[in-house]
Amino acid sequence: MSKMRTYEYVWLDGYKPEPNLRSKIKATAEETTPDWSFDGSSTQQAGTGDSDCLLLPVQSYENPTEPDYIVLCQVHGADHKVHPTNTRAAAAEIVTDEWWFGFEQEYYLTHPDGTILGWEHGDPRPQGEYYCGVGASNIAGREISEAHLLACLEAGIEITGTNAEVGLGQWEYQCFGKGIKAADDLWVSRYILNKIAEEHGVCVNYHPKPKKGDWNGSGMHTNFSNDVMRTKGDKALFDEICGKLEKCHDEAIAAYGSDNDMRLTGSHETQVITKFSHGVSDRGASIRIPVYTVEHGWKGYLEDRRPSSNADPYLIVAHIVGALK
């Protein structure tokens, strides 16, 4: 028998408001990944009478554990047309490789019953010592964060950093990429995180405000730039970009994740969801102009602080590029 390879096909289902990640494994002697299919009636993507949906591979990643490869797919209907739940297709049409993105993915780790790691005996001490902290009274889940970092690097996903966040049991990693692959990589980094957490009997909570009260929510600040932003060196360009983003603030909020109103309250380093603002080094603004950009003669990037931790990165990149075309 020729050598059999194992491919873990990963796709997004049809659940609203945000999709779930799904996967199944194909074992085959083929050296390239063939198109495949699945039962769309079990993923809210088809009826039972017409249930076949198609999986079209779009990116392949070496898998640090078994199976051999993770294969990210987009979904088409049985008619071979883009499925209505496929948010990647529209984004891929406009997001070219000159666009660079750095996502700051925040999340909480929980037990399967929803209790946050470290919160087993009730609310922990108020926030303050957990951010970038060390020690068992300040940290919960580090082994998962670090295993995730190493697994993503081995898979060729450019994680540029990770840290314990402001809430106990809350973490962040930063994921950099170019063009549509940036959003592909972010989805696959989430898949890898969910699987590593699963091995520890732990779940990943991407909700923007898992705990009401004086506890930080989770966001996904999105840093972005294109050729002209990186090279022109003109403050007026950045003002113009912020002006364009302000004009379509409502569309941005619609694309940036559900329940984001619970996070964007004006406290905990956020701007109120109904307001748009921008400012140099301002973490209370919708768009932060990093000091880096100013000090490099207005060559650099911007940070959109509005996207929620549960947002679909395809919708984020499509919104930003569409707004600035």
- Which residues contribute to the site for Mg ion (CB under 5 A)? 172
* Cβ distance to Mg ion smaller for residue 172 or 304: 172
* Cβ distance to Mg ion smaller for residue 38 or 301: 301
* Cβ distance to Mg ion smaller for residue 142 or 230: 142
Long-range contacts of 143-148 (CB under 8 A, 24+ apart): 143/200, 144/109, 144/171, 144/193, 144/196, 144/197, 144/200, 144/202, 145/171, 145/173, 147/196, 148/173, 148/189, 148/192, 148/193, 148/196
* Cβ distance to Mg ion smaller for residue 303 or 312: 303
Nearest distance from C-beta of residue 263 to Mg ion, angstroms: 12
Nearest distance from C-beta of residue 184 to Mg ion, angstroms: 22
Nearest distance from C-beta of residue 215 to Mg ion, angstroms: 14
The 3-state secondary structure of 89-103 reads HHHHHHCCCCCEEEE
Alpha helices (H) along 48-102: 87-94
* Cβ distance to Mg ion smaller for residue 172 or 303: 172
Nearest distance from C-beta of residue 103 to Mg ion, angstroms: 11
* Cβ distance to Mg ion smaller for residue 22 or 288: 288
Phi, then psi, of 36 in degrees rounded to 5? -145, -175
24: tokens are 């199944």
Residue 66 CA: distances (Å) to CA of 61, 63, 195, 282, 294: 12, 7, 12, 44, 46
Nearest distance from C-beta of residue 145 to Mg ion, angstroms: 13
* Cβ distance to Mg ion smaller for residue 33 or 170: 170
Alpha carbons 20 and 18: distance in angstroms, whole number: 7
Closest residue by beta carbon to Mg ion? 172
159: tokens are 């994680």
Alpha carbons 84 and 152: distance in angstroms, whole number: 29
Three-state DSSP class for 283? coil
Number of C-beta neighbours around residue 224 at 10 A: 21
Nearest distance from C-beta of residue 158 to Mg ion, angstroms: 18
Phi, then psi, of 292 in degrees rounded to 5? -50, -50
Nearest distance from C-beta of residue 303 to Mg ion, angstroms: 11
